[in-house]
Amino acid sequence: MGDGRGDEEECRVALLNGGGAAKEGWQVVSGGDGKLRRRVWEESRKLWVIVAPAIFSRVVTYSMNVITQAFAGHLGDLELAAISIANTVVVGFNFGLMLGMASALETLCGQAFGAKKYHMMGVYMQRSWIVLLACAVLLLPMYIYAEDVLLLTGQPPELSAMAGRVSVWFIPLHLSFAFLFPLQRFLQCQMKNFASAAASGVALCVHVAISWLLVSRFRFGLVGIALTLNFSWWATAAMLFAYVACGGCPETWNGLSLEAFAGLWEFVKLSAASGVMLCLENWYYRILILLTGNLKNAAIAVDALSICMTINAWELMIPLAFFAGTGVRVANELGAGNGKGARFATIVSSVTSLVIGLFFWVLIVGLHDKFALIFTSSDVVLDAVDNLSVLLAFTILLNSIQPVLSGVAVGSGWQSMVAYVNIGTYYLIGIPMGILLGWLFKLGVLGIWAGMIGGTAVQTLILAIITIRCDWDKEAMIASTRMDKWSQVR
């Protein structure tokens, strides 16, 4: 590129993409659009190998919760509110912490796979089982004393009592998290999400059949709903373990090993950082349900909001699949020493997820007065959901990019730093803004939700700045050092 035109083009690329440090990642542009298109296609193919089955398995798994709420909604408004509170506050809070702690495997297994240190992946998963099971046991009192916890948060006595009774029946579901989440991350880091997708599909079919049998046929009510969820989640975990143990992962699973008990303290610290980072995100909108429970006409407000949150969480399974895919792709590239490849994977994943988010934004705006019919036939609740639909649409749009940036953080091992960002933006900005708008300005649930969306917007902006300013070559060196350190822990 000795001619003036070539020099001009190279400078243009450098300016557009952050200078010399970024030039290598985008230098294909100077070679023509064809090379860029091929590179985008190749990266998209690698991404969708992870994302497509992850979307299916996550949507199917969450659909079990949606089916559960649908059955509860047709039992009555109080039953719907009780199962929503139990599932959102009690199970949901613990779900967020356990899921976050399991995400430590996305950093370690993803980078180990990229560095071709396959034998350590099975050991990492077993360490995660030990740490998560211990954590699950420590969290059991929250289920046992759920009614008291809910009363302390200001929930109505009748609602707290019913939610407390059903929470005890969710203990087996809670314990399943300790085994299922590490299995899922172990498989996705080696591009074997199809196993999770197949297991989730079978579990959904079983879930629908047992839900009808226990709730509609035998009239077990909320207890039947809880028993069905317990069985479905444990069935998924059992199928995945059978796949791994029976030869599905010959390079990465060598059976149970005493190595899993070595280096547990280091693993606890990384898992704790991951847990704090992701559970703060997971808890954030669940706190919205709690705050809404203190408003007037709480049962109707909680019903309407829980329906919106269910739709939001259902759609969120797609960007969460991109969270998983981005984390794996970034971790794989960093583990292989390719910092520019990690940067390119981040860009492709972010743009793809944002386009999908725009599609669902349009869908929610167009069906604002109809989508709640899935859950209820109450005119009062339907009107309340309609009033919240605009906020739901913008929450979905914002959440199309935020999980991708969190995936970059997990793949890079930035969990501790992002945990501080989440504390500041969610709990020092978003929740106070929500309380201010909801109570002081008397905007009710609209104000609470709008304020909390503001916190999410600030968090997303900060993560975007951190990602744009990242030195990817340095991150690749850090990943190499991490793999050497963890591989020597015996």
Report which of 424, 126, 72, 103 is spatially closest to residue 252, judged by C-alpha positions: 126
One-letter amino acid of 52:
A
Render pLDDT for 387-417 as a digit per residue (tens, 0 to 9): 888 889 999 999 899 989 988 998 888 888 8
| Residue 24, in any domain of the structure | no
Among 11, 14, 44, 34, residue whose Cα is nearest residue 26: 14
Q: Please answer whether residues 18 and 468 qualify as being in contact, where contact means their C-beta atoms are separated by less than 8 angstroms.
A: yes
Give percent helix, percent strand, percent coil of the chain, each to the nearest 5. 85, 0, 15
Domain presence at residue 399:
yes
pLDDT tens figures, 110-154: 888 888 888 889 999 999 999 999 999 999 999 999 999 888 877
Is the separation of the CB atoms in 97 and 277 below 8 Å? no
Query: Considering only CA atoms, which of 304, 279, 228, 183 is closest in space to residue 65?
Result: 228
- Listing DSSP states for 47-63 in one string gives HHHHHHHHHHHHHHHHH
pLDDT tens for each residue of the chain, 490 residues long = 444 444 444 334 433 444 444 344 434 444 457 788 899 999 999 999 989 998 888 888 777 877 887 787 777 777 777 887 787 778 877 887 888 888 888 888 888 888 888 888 999 999 999 999 999 999 999 999 999 988 887 778 888 898 898 899 999 999 999 999 999 999 988 888 889 899 999 999 999 899 888 887 887 878 888 888 899 999 999 999 999 999 899 999 988 888 888 878 878 887 888 777 777 777 776 677 667 766 666 667 777 777 888 788 778 888 888 988 998 999 989 988 899 999 999 999 999 999 999 999 999 999 888 878 877 777 888 888 888 888 899 999 998 999 899 889 988 888 888 888 988 998 899 989 988 998 888 887 888 888 888 998 999 999 999 999 999 999 889 888 877 776 655 5
Domain membership flag for residue 26: no
CB atoms within 10 A of CB 370: 12
Neighbouring residues of 357: CB distance < 8 A, sequence distance ≥ 6:
319, 396, 397, 399, 400, 401
DSSP 273-312: HHHHHHHHHHHHHHHHHHHHTTSTTHHHHHHHHHHHHHHH
In a domain, 164, yes or no: yes
Does 409 fall in a domain?
A: yes
Is residue 27 in a domain?
no
Q: Largest Cα–Cα distance of the chain, in whole Å? A: 81
Domain limits for position 466? 51-487
- Summarised one tens digit per residue, pLDDT across range 468-482 is 999 999 988 988 887
Report CA dihedral (163, 164, 165, 171) to the nearest 10 degrees: 100
Query: Do residues 114 and 336 touch, judged by C-beta distance below 8 A?
Result: yes
Residue environment code for 320-335, b if the CB has 16+ CB neighbours within 10 A, otherwise e? bbbbbbbbbbbbbbbb
Q: Which two tokens stand for residue 233?
A: 């989640």
Q: What Rg do the C-alpha atoms of the chain give, in angstroms?
A: 23
Which two structure tokens, joined as six digits, stand for 439?
A: 């109570």
> CB under 8 Å to 377, separation ≥6 — which residues?
none
Exposed/middle/buried for 206, CB within 10 Å: 0-12, 13-18, 19+?
middle
Q: Which element (helix H / strand E) includes 174?
A: helix 171-188
> Is 32 among the domain residues?
no
Residue 43 lies inside a defined structural domain of this protein? no
- Spatial contact of 345 and 334, defined as CB atoms under 8 Å apart: no
The pLDDT > 90 percentage for the chain reads 30
Give the total number of structural domains in the chain.
Answer: 1
254 DSSP 8-state letter: -
